[in-house]
Amino acid sequence: MNGRIVVPKDIRKAVGARLGTRFIWKLTEDGSIHVVAKSKKPVAEETPQPDSGDSLNGEGNA
């Protein structure tokens, strides 16, 4: 799929995305989404995600 998708400001800020950062996403077989932020300069280190809950809906392990 080609095109532009607007990434919410709070997500860009959380990963330290700067102008020119690209977000590459892939839908996995289990229905989760794997996202990689690519930039000419490192933006953030990979951090493990919670195993349960949906943090975007406020159901995370926080």
Q: CATH number, domain at 3?
A: 2.10.260
**Would you state the pLDDT for residue 30?**
92
**C-beta neighbour count of 37 within 10 angstroms:** 19
Higher pLDDT, 57 or 23: 23
| CA 56 – CA 60 distance, rounded (Å) | 8
Longest dimension (CA), the chain: 34
Residue 33: domain span: 1-44
22 assigned to some structural domain: yes
Q: What is the pLDDT of residues 14-49, one digit of tens each?
A: 888 888 888 888 888 998 888 888 877 765 566 666
Structure tokens that stand for 18 in this block: 């700067």
59 assigned to some structural domain: no
30 assigned to some structural domain: yes
Query: How many structural domains is the chain composed of?
Result: 1
CA 59 to chain centre: 17
